[in-house]
Amino acid sequence: MAKNLEEKIEIIKKIIDKTSIPICLYKNTILYYNDSFKKFLEKIDYDINKEIEILINKNNEKTVENYSDYKIIIEEIILDEKYYIVQIDFNKEENQDYQLFNSKPIIKINQNGIIVYKNQAASYIFDIKEKNINNLVNVSLIKKSIDDGNLTTIINYKEKTFQLNIFPTEDFYLLYFIDITEKSITEKKFKILEKAFNSIHEGIIITDKENKIIMTNTMFSKITGYREEEVIGKNPSFQSSGKHDKDFYIKLWESLYRDGFWEGNIWNRKKDGSIYLARYTISTIKNENNIEYFVAIFEDITELSNSKNSVEFIMNHDYLTGLFNRSAFEDKTYELLENLKPNRKVALILVNIKGFRKINTILGHVIGDFVLIEMSNKLKNIFKENIIARYNADVFSILLEYDEQLKDRIKIDVQKIIDAFKEPLLIKNKEIFVNVNIGVSIYPEDANNIYKLLQNAEESLYKSKIDGLNFYIYSSIDKRDEELYNLENFLRKALKDELFELYYQPQINSITDSVYGAEILLRLRDKDGNYISPAKFIPVAEKIGIIIDIGEWIFDKAFKTFYEWFYLKCYNPINISINLSPRQFNDPNLLGMIERKLRMINIETKYITIEITEGVAVDNIKNVIEKINYLKSLSFSLAIDDFGTGYSSLAYIKKLPLEKIKIDQSFIKELPASKEDFAIVVAIINLASNLRLDIIAEGVETKEQVELLKRLGCYIIQGYYYSKPLPSTEFEKLYLEKIEQAEEIN
């Protein structure tokens, strides 16, 4: 697109402006010149117009006139009429620095790109060896540029960027280069800044000192619904929601002027009329001491204030899963029961993760947390709109409302839970299978108030655990209650009539085949002479508190037997283990009771081991450690029983001052087949030997298991492979036999 004369002259004027060497446009007289040229004019004492005229009129090839320390170069340029570019070029010798640093490269080429002239700056900066300009810029590009009417273009040379200004003369092109590297970097920087400005997640409003908006970013528009053009020039107060009084804004401005900064929440109105809460940080940008701009950065926190961060949310929710916590759950239950319509029923479901303690212990608390989160997600998926809570550590609770057809429907819902857990949880690319126990209770059928409803649900859960059921629905007319009631009474009677027996299960050193010790296990026979499993009656004894008295009876009996064997009969003493249930261990009178017994029968307590489960130790570690230390000061040994099944992690166990660890039988049972159990056993043995603890394997039933454990470094074996728990007389027999065998060998 060819440009007309006026346009061309305008372009040339601009080029002249940008050029730092003295240069002017001439036609009959100087039409336009730059600052350098002006300075040059001030220095000379002759009429430059006259001089130029003379030079032009010489009309020979020589358009260069040499003066002592500069030369005047005149180039005719073709702009419809004859115009001239007059340039002052300082001589190298006198003004080298000036040349190099103040002048811009100038090159004159002919139609073929052959360089006919270049100034010092050009030689210095471009380092052109050939006669040809093509290395720097292609002639055809220059020609095309002129044809398109562009007398300026951008070229890159080495690391630098130049604006190339072209002055076409009759047969030549005069090329002026202006280094714009700095400028183009600044421009790039500005582009990046602009991008950043718009990609920031917060809204930004920049206002001038009169607080008129001069700039906003993309997020501003996203949040408020206003486009930038709509708000430029306005005072940001147009967004006001009317929710704040004058005082609020007065304080805001006070602190802005005083501190140059304000932070706080503002209710504003969006374009669509809706009100939102924004978190604002406003600061001032000052020039010397005067405020030039205000920069307000804000984010929409309406959602946040409604949910996650509010105090109310935190008070009512479990931090890990985001579900309701127990107290909120109870409130919601209360509310629901209060407002329940006649003929409608409520089911309270408790879901417990089987073996959660094992997951926590073996895989660590982080994985344990993931399991809980995944659990909660599954439940949320099933019971979307219903009230779901984390009831306690590994129990979730759900509240469902039903009509008359409750019984059928509830089984369907419970089945949904069970089905959901047939699929493994995928945690950190690991498949973890989780089973659940479920306990259900129903209002108002079996409970007429919230407390009874909760209690029944807990009892149902307990039953489903004890009986190994997937779920159990509480029923007040269930005969299990009767059983429980009878068992409670029977336990009281058993204690009174001394129906309990103590059995001794040998612990054998598999290397020497000698008796290392014995664990005392409680036995009770019902009226028909059948054994009742301690796993069944101990929890009941715990629940009704009678375990404390049973415990005292056990200590009494055990100490007497110990005295008989190792003092009266003078057998070599061996280790005797006594179990303490959580309630026994936490009994404040425990230590007093034991000391009392020791005063009556003075035995060497270093041969007595107290077995506690990990569960005992979780609640109040400080108390637990104090108690254990006290028992140790009485020379008892301490063992952690059922190791690997408790809540505690391996790290936690390290804190306890123990002597022994008993590997739980559940890890032994499937050895050597189960790889997972194998890994766990190896880990436990390593841990125990690192902590210099004795290690006892429990529930060992086969020779293979004994050999495997021996190879892994666990020698003390308790289990049916060697012997079932035995009445005291039979144990005595076995003990003596083993000694005899040993003597025969020797």
Using CB distances below 5 to 8 A depending on partner kind, what does residue 646 bind out of ligand C2E, Ca ion, none?
Answer: none
CA distance 238 to 243: 13
296 vs 522, beta carbon nearer ligand C2E: 522
Residue type, 19: T
Burial of residue 455, with CB atoms counted within 10 A of its CB: 0-12 exposed, 13-18 middle, 19 or more buried: middle
Q: Binding pattern to Ca ion, positions 592-611, x when CB under 5 A?
A: -------------------x
What's the token pair of residue 448?
């007429």
296 vs 726, beta carbon nearer ligand C2E: 726
Using CB distances below 5 to 8 A depending on partner kind, what does residue 22 bind out of ligand C2E, Ca ion, none?
Answer: none
CA distance 599 to 544: 29
**Contacts with 221 (C-beta within 8 Å, 6 or more apart), sequence order:** 227, 228
**Contacts with 383 (C-beta within 8 Å, 6 or more apart), sequence order:** 398, 400, 413
63 vs 509, beta carbon nearer ligand C2E: 509
Q: Select from 87, 579, 605, 728 the one that contacts Ca ion (CB under 5 A).
A: 579
Helices 547-563 and 534-544: angle between axes, nearest 10 degrees: 120
72 vs 617, beta carbon nearer ligand C2E: 617
Stretch that binds Ca ion, among 229-237, 438-446, 470-478, 693-701 (CB under 5 A): 693-701
Using CB distances below 5 to 8 A depending on partner kind, what does residue 521 bind out of Ca ion, ligand C2E, none?
Answer: ligand C2E
- Give min distance, CB of 301 to ligand C2E, in A: 53
Buried b / exposed e along 36-58 (16+ C-beta atoms within 10 A) = bbeebeeeeeeebeebbeebbee
H helix intervals, 588-723: 590-600, 614-618, 621-633, 650-654, 665-669, 675-690, 703-712
Q: Given strand 70-79, what is the order of strands in its sheet? A: 29-33, 23-27, 81-90, 70-79, 64-66
- Give min distance, CB of 652 to ligand C2E, in A: 20
Helix or strand run (H / E) with residue 297: strand 290-300
Q: Binding pattern to Ca ion, positions 696-735, x when CB under 5 A?
A: --x-------------------------------------
Report the relative pairing of strands 531-532 and 501-509 from DSSP bridges.
Answer: unpaired
CA distance 546 to 489: 11
Q: Does 394 bind Ca ion (CB under 5 A)?
A: no
- Give min distance, CB of 560 to ligand C2E, in A: 15
Using CB distances below 5 to 8 A depending on partner kind, what does residue 505 bind out of ligand C2E, Ca ion, none?
Answer: ligand C2E
Using CB distances below 5 to 8 A depending on partner kind, what does residue 538 bind out of ligand C2E, Ca ion, none?
Answer: ligand C2E
CA distance 69 to 91: 5
Residue type, 529: G
- Give min distance, CB of 589 to ligand C2E, in A: 16
Q: How many residues form the binding site for Ca ion (CB under 5 A)?
A: 5
Using CB distances below 5 to 8 A depending on partner kind, what does residue 554 bind out of Ca ion, ligand C2E, none?
Answer: ligand C2E
Chain positions 624 to 643 lying near Ca ion, rule: CB under 5 A, are 641-642
464 vs 581, beta carbon nearer ligand C2E: 581
DSSP string, 310-376: SHHHHHHB-TTT-SB-HHHHHHHHHHHHHTPPTT-EEEEEEEEETTHHHHHHHH-HHHHHHHHHHHH
Using CB distances below 5 to 8 A depending on partner kind, what does residue 110 bind out of Ca ion, ligand C2E, none?
Answer: none
Using CB distances below 5 to 8 A depending on partner kind, what does residue 720 bind out of Ca ion, ligand C2E, none?
Answer: ligand C2E
- Give min distance, CB of 718 to ligand C2E, in A: 6
- Give min distance, CB of 668 to ligand C2E, in A: 8
CA distance 302 to 314: 16
Residue carrying structure tokens 């029944």: 456
23 vs 697, beta carbon nearer ligand C2E: 697
- Give min distance, CB of 630 to ligand C2E, in A: 19
Using CB distances below 5 to 8 A depending on partner kind, what does residue 573 bind out of ligand C2E, Ca ion, none?
Answer: none
Helix or strand run (H / E) with residue 432: strand 430-432
Report the relative pairing of strands 716-718 and 694-698 from DSSP bridges.
Answer: parallel
351 vs 554, beta carbon nearer ligand C2E: 554
Contacts with ligand C2E, residue ranges (CB under 6 A): 505, 520-522, 533-535, 538, 554, 579-581, 584, 641-642, 665, 698-701, 718-720, 725
Using CB distances below 5 to 8 A depending on partner kind, what does residue 508 bind out of Ca ion, ligand C2E, none?
Answer: none
Using CB distances below 5 to 8 A depending on partner kind, what does residue 216 bind out of ligand C2E, Ca ion, none?
Answer: none
- Give min distance, CB of 582 to ligand C2E, in A: 9
Residue carrying structure tokens 């008993």: 662
Using CB distances below 5 to 8 A depending on partner kind, what does residue 535 bind out of ligand C2E, Ca ion, none?
Answer: ligand C2E
441 vs 575, beta carbon nearer Ca ion: 575
- Give min distance, CB of 610 to ligand C2E, in A: 10
106 vs 688, beta carbon nearer Ca ion: 688
CA distance 369 to 325: 15
Sign of CA dihedral 32, 36, 38, 43: negative
Using CB distances below 5 to 8 A depending on partner kind, what does residue 640 bind out of Ca ion, ligand C2E, none?
Answer: none
Q: Is 504 helix (H, G, I), strand (E, B) or coil?
A: strand
- Give min distance, CB of 718 to Ca ion, in A: 8
- Give min distance, CB of 537 to ligand C2E, in A: 9
Burial of residue 416, with CB atoms counted within 10 A of its CB: 0-12 exposed, 13-18 middle, 19 or more buried: middle
Stretch that binds Ca ion, among 328-336, 361-369, 480-488, 577-585 (CB under 5 A): 577-585
Residue type, 360: N
CA distance 632 to 636: 5
Using CB distances below 5 to 8 A depending on partner kind, what does residue 581 bind out of ligand C2E, Ca ion, none?
Answer: ligand C2E
371 vs 610, beta carbon nearer ligand C2E: 610
What's the token pair of residue 631?
């028992």
644 vs 699, beta carbon nearer ligand C2E: 699
74 vs 700, beta carbon nearer ligand C2E: 700
Using CB distances below 5 to 8 A depending on partner kind, what does residue 460 bind out of ligand C2E, Ca ion, none?
Answer: none
Using CB distances below 5 to 8 A depending on partner kind, what does residue 256 bind out of ligand C2E, Ca ion, none?
Answer: none
576 vs 712, beta carbon nearer ligand C2E: 576
What's the token pair of residue 116?
């006919």
CA distance 319 to 706: 45
249 vs 720, beta carbon nearer ligand C2E: 720
302 vs 665, beta carbon nearer ligand C2E: 665
72 vs 656, beta carbon nearer ligand C2E: 656
Instruction: Round the CA-based radius of gyration of the chain to a whole number and report it.
Output: 47
Q: Is 538 helix (H, G, I), strand (E, B) or coil?
A: helix
Which residues here bind Ca ion, judged by CB under 5 A? 579, 611, 641-642, 698
